[in-house]
Amino acid sequence: MNKILITALILMAFISKLNAQDTLRLNFREAVEIGLQQNLNYRQLENQQEVLKREKQAAQLAHLPNLNINNSGFRQSGQQYQQVEDQLIVTNISNNIITSNLNTAMPVYNGGRRINNTQATRFFEEAGENSLQRAAQEVMFNIGRQYLQVLLDKELYRIALENLENQKKQLEQIEGFVEAGLRTLSDQYNQQSEVARLETVALNAKVQWETDAWTLAETLQLEPNVIPELEAVSLNPGKSEYLSMSVDELYKIALENRKDFKQQQLLESGNKKLLAVSRSFMYPQINAFFNYSTFFTSLDERTISEQLWQVYPQQTIGVSLNIPIFNNFNNKLTVTRGKVQYHNQQLEKTALERRISQEIKLAYENYKASIKREEATKLQLAAAVEAQTAISERFRLGVSNFVDLATANQQLVTGQSDYAQALYTLYFQEVILNYQLGVLALD
């Protein structure tokens, strides 16, 4: 027996240590930080933002002249042509040649293409920043929803265990009454059945708690077999500052703070500038250019330095004018695509405005309803506690029957569960309202 007992203690210690290793304690801020690091969509947006920044830089630097240097060296074998005074001499020899060119060009006028493209990339880069911030709020919102659900499951499991323990004590009391001849065996059997049922209820509550905890672990992309242990949040019910405002006022706040709406506004402005860029291809283009070229040939007996820097250097400077007349309607096709993109962006912004209006109304009404639900369930719980206390005493005195006692117990547990759900629902409805208003933050 001693060996068995020692072995059992060792196993219990090992299991306890294993469970500690598989549990990661988190508060809400830490959970959100992990979620932002692991969320696929958010990380992809971060990567895309780097591209938008580089596009903005490239558009800004496009206002400067470009500069290129080309060098080549090669060998020609066969007939070589040489101009000697007024004669053209042809010889069959090998010729070693080195060429070097420096080219620079700068657009003088291109229909406002550079300016509009620079402004468009600036709008798109800012729109990407807003998209990133909205994605962070969305990650925070989704993690907050799952975080609160796990806490609620834990509270419901605690209520189920507490009720189970109370009913076990009630069973012991009834068994004593039966032995004393104060109660019938039917009351004892009914209570045994109730205890068995509550054990199943507690087990289901635990399974639900663990299931939602593993779902949160998957959302946070935790290591395998690591389950989060969450710190509780303060559920003191209070009224949000936005509750005293009208829906129209809340709608204006949402339009000022919603990052996705700002993103759509910036995308609309950016596409408008791109439309102007596409139209610039239909205007004349004026470009200034400068070319410097030189070469060396082995047919010339002078040194490489003399040929490259003194004999053969050539400089060209000038201005080119390109007037588009007919380009197979390609320019018109580009303009049409720009118009469609711009108009589609306007439609998306309008649709988002309507959606924001509906989301604000729904979140506002649900928040008000959750306040009333919390107040009603609080009264429900207080009444259930009083009723259960009174009926338990009457049952002890033999005045009430088992059915009244069981009903009172069930109403008490229902009141406890309903009030816990109402508290968490009220808390989350405020989170939803802040999310729809665009003001959701970790604080």
Exposed e or buried b for every residue in 85-113, given b needs 16+ CB within 10 A? eeeeeeeeeebeebbbeeeeeebeebbeb
**What structural domains and CATH numbers belong to the chain?**
26-38+111-283+330-437 (1.20.1600.10)
Give the model's confidence band at 321: pLDDT under 50 very low, under 70 low, under 90 confident, else very high.
very high
Looking at residue 393, its pLDDT comes to 87
Looking at residue 233, its pLDDT comes to 87
Higher pLDDT, 369 or 174: 369
Nearest C-alpha neighbor of 224 from the set 234, 211, 232, 214? 214
The lowest-confidence range among 65-74, 140-149, 182-191 is 182-191
Q: Percent of the chain beyond pLDDT 70?
A: 93
Virtual CA dihedral for 251, 255, 258, 263, nearest 10 degrees? 150
pLDDT exceeds 90 at position 348: yes
pLDDT exceeds 80 at position 239: no
Task: Output the pTM of the full model.
Answer: 0.82
The lowest-confidence range among 23-32, 85-94, 209-218, 367-376 is 85-94
Looking at residue 236, its pLDDT comes to 77
pLDDT exceeds 60 at position 300: yes
Average pLDDT, the chain: 89
Give the model's confidence band at 11: pLDDT under 50 very low, under 70 low, under 90 confident, else very high.
very low
The lowest-confidence range among 205-209, 236-240, 321-325, 425-429 is 236-240
First-to-last C-alpha distance (Å) of the chain? 56
CB contact at 8 A, 266 and 130: yes
Which single residue is written with the structure tokens 């389950």? 227
pLDDT exceeds 80 at position 91: no
Q: In this structure, is the dihedral angle defined by the CA atoms of residues 303, 306, 309 and 311, taken in order, positive or negative?
A: negative
Exposed e or buried b for every residue in 329-366, given b needs 16+ CB within 10 A? eebeebbeebeebbeebeeeeeebeeebbebbeebbeb
Give the model's confidence band at 279: pLDDT under 50 very low, under 70 low, under 90 confident, else very high.
very high
Residue 243 neighbours by CB under 8 Å, 6+ apart: 367, 368, 371
The lowest-confidence range among 18-27, 167-176, 285-294 is 18-27
Looking at residue 186, its pLDDT comes to 87
